Amino acid sequence: MAQRASVHILFEDEHLLVAAKPAGMPSIPGRDGAESLLERLRAGHGEGVRVVHRLDRDTSGVICFARTLEAQRTLSGEFEDRTARKTYLALVRGALEADSGEIDAPIANDVTSPGRMICSRKRGKAAITAWRVLIRFRDLTLLEVRPATGRTHQIRLHLAHIGHALAADPVYGNGSPVKLSTYKGDYRLKRGRVERPLLSRTGLHAWRLCLIHPHSGRPQEFEAPLAKDMRSVVYQLSRRSLVQDLTDGAVF
């Protein structure tokens, strides 16, 4: 039996519940019957837990839920009005020449491939993503990413659009996992063993979320530490293929 992923509660009061979503767990129930974060939270915190926004199944990190109908309406309005600010950490393929930039490319449904998105000036909806380099490795880069809009698959698509798909992304990249053997020259496995990748899911983590508390009206910031698998990539590659560290001592 597969081990249940643990869910870390970052903040909770009578109006708001903020959690760190594990990678691989859907935000809400889907067709495949897999347990969702919403169901897990309702089982532990009551049926009053309400959806405000979502993260892709393979994305880890900070996500908020409302505890009352009034809070749900207020928080949903913040996301619709773009007053809620989201910051992600993204591990992408290749080396970006500039240290920062902005992607302005409208997004539309891919009519030839259901569930997939495309960049389209003709029929797409406005989408803007700002990015900044944090660490350059030999063939991977860790970025801080701030989406100004909230389109489906926005970060994944936009980064692929500029030629730097997320590591291990099977939809907008080649899906190849990140393996230690690629970077460790003397890597050896015992006979009969198969290498376990450092990262086998899409390399995206929701790091910070800034919003206005739905009851007090005060600004609040929540942060989810970098997920274990992405943290392992950063640690291992920092030892073996570090090119440039621009984090200024930031802790993920």
Tell me how far apart the terminal alpha carbons of the chain are, to the nearest angstrom. Answer: 31
State the catalytic residue, choosing from 13, 56, 104, 229.
Answer: 56
- Residues shown for the chain: 252
Angle at 146 between CA 140 and CA 149, to 5 degrees: 125
Output the pLDDT for position 5: 66
Residue 97 backbone class (left: φ over 0; alpha: ψ -120 to 50; beta: rest)? alpha
pLDDT tens-digit readout, 51-60: 999 999 999 9
Per-residue pLDDT at 50: 97
Give yes or no: 56 in active site.
yes
**pLDDT tens digits, one per residue of 72-125:** 999 999 999 999 999 999 999 999 999 999 999 999 999 999 989 999 999 999
Q: How far apart are CA 34 and CA 198, in angstroms?
A: 24
What is the value of pTM for the model shown? Answer: 0.94
Tracing tokens 């009578």 back to the chain, one arrives at 14
Sketch out the chain's domains with CATH numbers: 8-245 (3.30.2350.10)
What does the DSSP assignment read for 33-69? -PPPHHHHHHHHH-TT-EE-----TT-EEEEEEESSH
Q: Distances from the Cα of 216 to the Cαs of 19, 74, 97, 211, in angstroms?
A: 20, 12, 43, 11
3-state secondary structure of 201: coil
Average pLDDT over residues 27-50: 93
